[in-house]
Amino acid sequence: MFRILALTSASMIAAPALAQSVNAIEYGPRPYYLIDRMADGPLKEKLQSCAGQEAAQSLFSIGHRGAPMQFPEHTVESNLAAARMGAGILECDVTFTKDLELVCRHAQNDLHTTTNILATPLASTCITPFAPANGDTGAYAECRTSEITLAQYRTLMPKMDAADRTATTVDAYLGGTADWRTDLYSTEPATLMTHAESIELFKSLGAKFTPELKTPSVKMPFNGFTQKDYAQKLVDEYKAAGIPASDVWLQSFNLEDVLYWIEAEPEFGAQAVYLMDEYNLDNYSPMEPSTWPNTMEELKAMGINYIAPPTWMLVTLEGNEIVPSELAKQAKAAGLKIITWTIERSGPLMHGGGWYYQSIADITNSDGVMYDYIDALAQDVGVEGIFSDWPATVTYYANCLGLK
């Protein structure tokens, strides 16, 4: 009988629960809530017509750190929820511990917002100890996986990724969860994972894999561990688990990581995903090719087959219609496949939707816009898949529109 290793003293999950999860995919009420708020039209009618259909797993639906809209990210529980909502691909963001073990964390330096480390004796390992809010200066701390061993990491309790910057105590600082999320599923210990354990879990759930190699917070080499060692160890753990390269979409914001995989591990490199963060550059615009550090043709010539810009970089508005951006059009012309991030990470959409909706803010005035956005990304841009913090939303669309 398959069993997930107990990663905290309070947690052990057995095979029957995992097996049942992939045979009982459910949407829950949220997709219907969003559809009810759509403007009347053909898309709303199409989505309404799929109410009551049998839910199925879809590769178009990608769990972004599991289902972190309500579950602590990168935990067994978060990924189990994502699989139960039909996510066909699951993500482990990968960083490393002091003893060079790969673990699932969104960043090497996020333990102060994603775990209870500040309330444990391991707070003494933090690069920046907790400092309370003082006047105009917000509360702050910084704690890294690279400062603790795997054994120490396993003692931590994960929580919703949040911090109260107005806090004057550690207990208060560890709160701060957005009011449109919830702490309901983080009151009891959730289960942290190593990268290797995430492979075992995702395989048991019938899902495929998209690990992201996170940029280290420490200077590399670290304890003799080079960036290439880091990139290679990620691949080696899939090989050791017997996972075919065709089931894995490696990711990195670091172009050099992607090029390393293409050269050193061509089977895995063929599906390596270049995560695009060019938006951080001065004067960058997805509508102005002259501001791009690389053209889409140049990326393709490097051997890159997949790019992953954030959602807003792929669309613009023509009047009130969502249409592909220049970046999206040129990527398609160059033969690049596109994955995008992240749906269900913005909270209520009544007032423009924030960062992920910035290119369509003028028409973003209701949660119902979410399915118009997804439809434009799927049908007009032609993305291969969409990351979501609540995968049921994307799974419903994929099932209804026949996207496998």
pLDDT at 22: 63
pLDDT band of 125, cuts 50, 70, 90: very high
Q: In angstroms, rounded to a whole number, what is the distance separating the alpha carbons of residues 375 and 382?
A: 9
- Residue among 327, 333, 312 at smallest CA distance from 376: 312
Q: How far is CA 220 from CA 51, 76, 124, 228, 230, in A?
A: 51, 30, 23, 10, 10
Closest CA to 230 of 210, 212, 213, 206: 213
For residue 17, pLDDT over 50 is answered with no
Measured in whole angstroms, the distance separating CA 237 from the mean position of its chain's CA atoms is 20
282 vs 215, 293, 361, CA distance in Å? 21, 11, 21
- Contact yes or no for 308/341 (Cβ under 8 A): yes
User: Is pLDDT at 4 greater than 90 in this prediction?
Assistant: no
Question: How far apart are the C-alpha atoms of 74 and 57, rounded to whole Å?
Answer: 20
Q: What percentage of the chain reaches a pLDDT higher than 70?
A: 94
Domains and CATH numbers, the chain: 15-98+192-400 (3.20.20.190), 107-186 (no CATH)
Nearest C-alpha neighbor of 205 from the set 17, 389, 68, 388: 17
pTM: 0.95
pLDDT digits (tens, 9 = 90+) for 166-206: 999 999 999 999 999 999 999 999 999 999 999 999 999 99
Give the integer Cα–Cα distance in Å for 104 and 92: 5
More confident residue, 5 or 371: 371
The predicted-structure confidence for 207-227, as pLDDT tens digits, reads as follows 999 999 999 999 999 999 999
End-to-end CA distance of the chain: 30
Helix axes 195-204, 76-84, angle to 10 degrees: 30
What are the Cα distances from residue 122, in Å, to 51, 154, 288, 382?
49, 12, 48, 46
Number of Cβ within a 10 Å radius of residue 325:
19
Q: How far apart are CA 107 and CA 187, in angstroms?
A: 23
Cis peptide before 221 (omega within 30 of 0): yes
pLDDT of 24 reads 84
Output the average pLDDT for the chain: 94
pLDDT of 337 reads 98
CA dihedral 239, 243, 249, 252 (to 10 degrees): -30
Token digits of residue 308: 């992953």
Closest CA to 188 of 159, 162, 153: 159
Residue 315 pairs in a beta bridge with 324
Positive or negative CA dihedral for 111, 113, 114, 116?
Answer: positive
